[in-house]
Structure 1
């Protein structure tokens, strides 16, 4: 099972980077465990993950050395939702639209089916704050994906097996960016 889980982490890191949804060391992703969650370490090359690039974080207590700075958000999402995995990335078009929208309403059928509506959150403090964590957790209790204005997106996976949940969250992230591109093109060509 650990081999499958690590393979899913590696695949998600390679694919997020390959599709331009994150820069080399940006973003983070995690899966729920029995007493916490497994998350990518801060500053590691996501397209070249090794097993040592993952760290276990408890649902209570201090964060271990090397844990992503956004572990605070992952922890709060796992505390307040049934999510089994969480992917945080910086999809460029979606982030650009987040600077101008309060919510992203997909025009394409896939986006409408899988995302319906993507709230844009605007906490007053940084993305690694308790305020941001609370806002993301609240949004993901009602939506599959949310955006932090000018920063990035969080997508939750709910499948039972952790590796499947991680791939589900990744898939939602790609759907978000595709929907954002379609919305942008529509607006550029004179759509509402």
Structure 2
């Protein structure tokens, strides 16, 4: 019989958040992440670094309550996503450079590679003005992730929600791979089209 330690969700969150940094999907202190653990949601603290985050640094949030002081600016967004996605166990926010670059035009992203299209027929791109980000992003990102695996806030970054933290990480990596392929095709002068 396998026993689950109560701290495992936090250890997993730290591991995956570190991988976002290690593999170029975040810089040293960007992005944020959360994992649902019963009635709690563990959220990364504001300004934390992917290289140094420890399980004890994570902050507990609960639905219907204001996030604690020091929680990520996106903590209300994470809680809104969980409310819209009862099946979701993890939310990852990252800054994959190709994902951001290929969506700066504000158009929804349609992958051109086979796997990208298989996972994401279309990736919604949300255009939220910088000065309205904290007010509007929780509702808008939650609405997008209620019907899509992943979305992008134009010029800002990627949000993925899934039934496991591993799956949220997979969606994040897969989108960056698709965006990199689209970027390389464009650089090579190959017209892949935006749809079809």
Same fold (TM over 0.5): yes
Between stretches 148-157 and 94-103, larger displacement belongs to: 94-103
How many aligned residue pairs are there? Answer: 186
Q: Within 2, Cα distance between the matches of 1:126 and 1:84?
A: 29
Aligned residue in 1 for 2:183: 184
1:112 aligns with 2:111: no
SS of 1:98's partner is coil
Contact 2:13 2:35 in 1 (8 A): no
Structure having the higher Rg: 2
Deviations 1:14-57 (A, max 9, x none): 21111111111111111123334111111122222212210111
Contact 1:108 1:182 in 2 (8 A): yes
List runs of 5+ in structure 1 lacking aligned partners: 159-164
Structure 1: 4+ residue segments shifted above 3 A: 125-128
Q: Within 2, Cα distance between the matches of 1:64 and 1:128?
A: 20
TM-score, structure 2 normalization: 0.88
SS of 1:93's partner is helix
Contact 2:106 2:127 in 1 (8 A): no
Q: CA RMSD in A?
A: 1.6
Aligned residue in 2 for 1:68: 72
Aligned residue in 2 for 1:30: 34
SS of 2:171's partner is helix
Between stretches 12-21 and 175-184, larger displacement belongs to: 12-21
Alignment of 1:78-97 (within 5 A): 78-82=82-86, 83-97=88-102
1:78 Cα shift?
0.9
Between stretches 122-131 and 145-154, larger displacement belongs to: 122-131
Between stretches 179-188 and 27-36, larger displacement belongs to: 27-36
Q: Within 1, Cα distance between the matches of 2:66 and 2:133?
A: 15
List runs of 5+ in structure 2 lacking aligned partners: 192-196
Q: Within 2, Cα distance between the matches of 1:104 and 1:188?
A: 17
Deviations 1:42-85 (A, max 9, x none): 11222222122101111112220111011111011111122221
Q: Within 2, Cα distance between the matches of 1:44 and 1:63?
A: 16
